[in-house]
């Protein structure tokens, strides 16, 4: 019989990618509910802002998740710092690249894969020994709705997010019968800076748009705030979910993957066009 999911509220957690977006909102939510929080990000300025906004015990470290040795050192620091058993590790750091497959630049793809996939693997391998020793806790790895469906101009991102999904699902099976769980998170469109910080060398559709213009178009169809995403993720973990869908668009993508596994993009593109049109009408 599976063990009940333990509460993480009020217990220590680790969050990477905490300088902004979902990571920052998770840190603020859990800290506000009494959890000691260990946060990390490569963005030192953003990380300081997050740390300053938290309550209670905080361990803050500038960290490049691509570096396995640095992740191991961070895990050692957390082990020494822990005021109580570690409840959850949120491997959340992520970046984006926009390009056609034909014009993809290997340097950009490697940069993304090292952060979005290998960063998750590094974080999992670094903190899993702590959780296994406790025989309790949760590894929460951020995939995406693009880890459910492939989307044009996002081949590198989709590949990494599918990989996170596969890695975490395999880990989940290895952990059966233990007190440690592995969870995948699949956010839909979240209003964060990921599109503005993405690498894009030119408009993949040949329309001459700048990165800022494309980011604005992405933000026009996002449906969920980082704060709402953090709430959904927190509640999903505490309810013992193995896979957490974040936002109404995530549920749509999940349904389309099941019922139209090769024809989903026609539906999605029509919905996006309609949503952009309604947004434009609402600001007139």
Residue 4 burial class via C-beta count within 10 angstroms: exposed 0-12, middle 13-18, buried 19 and up: exposed
Q: What is the DSSP letter of 115?
A: I
Enumerate the β-bridge partners of residue 59: 38
Q: What is the DSSP letter of 2?
A: P
Is there a contact between 225 and 234 (Cβ–Cβ < 8 Å)? no
Estimate to the nearest angstrom the gap between the alpha carbon of 14 and the chain centroid.
Answer: 13
CA separation (Å) from 179 to 3, 51, 164, 242?
7, 30, 21, 14
**Residue 116, both tokens:** 């979005």
Active site residues: 157
Q: What is the DSSP letter of 207?
A: S
């Amino acid at each position: 019989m599976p063990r009940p999911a333990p509460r993480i509220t009020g217990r220590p957690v680790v969050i990477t990618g905490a300088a902004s977006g979902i990571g920052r909102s998770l840190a603020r939510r859990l800290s506000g509910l009494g959890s000691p929080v260990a946060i990390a990000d490569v963005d030192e300025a953003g990380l300081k802002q997050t740390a300053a906004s938290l309550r209670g015990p905080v361990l803050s470290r500038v960290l490049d998740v691509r570096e396995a040795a640095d992740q191991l050192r961070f895990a050692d620091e957390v082990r020494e710092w822990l005021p109580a058993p570690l409840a959850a590790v949120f491997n959340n750091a992520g970046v984006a690249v926009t390009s056609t497959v034909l014009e993809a630049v290997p340097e950009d793809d490697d940069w993304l894969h090292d952060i979005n996939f290998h960063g998750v693997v590094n974080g999992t391998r670094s903190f899993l020994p702590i959780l296994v020793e406790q025989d309790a806790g949760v590894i929460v790895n951020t995939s995406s709705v693009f880890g459910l469906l492939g989307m044009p101009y996002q081949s590198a991102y989709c590949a990494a997010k599918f990989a996170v999904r596969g890695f975490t699902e395999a880990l989940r099976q290895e952990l059966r019968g233990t007190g440690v769980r592995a969870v995948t998170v699949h956010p839909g469109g979240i209003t964060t800076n990921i599109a503005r910080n993405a690498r894009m060398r030119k408009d993949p559709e040949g329309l001459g748009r700048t990165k800022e213009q494309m980011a604005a178009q992405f933000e026009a169809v996002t449906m969920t705030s980082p704060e709402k995403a953090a709430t959904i993720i927190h509640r999903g973990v505490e309810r013992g979910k193995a896979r957490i869908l974040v936002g109404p668009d995530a549920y749509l993508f999940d349904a389309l993957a099941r019922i139209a596994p090769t024809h989903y993009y026609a539906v999605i593109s029509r919905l996006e066009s309609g949503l952009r049109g309604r947004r434009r009408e609402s600001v007139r």
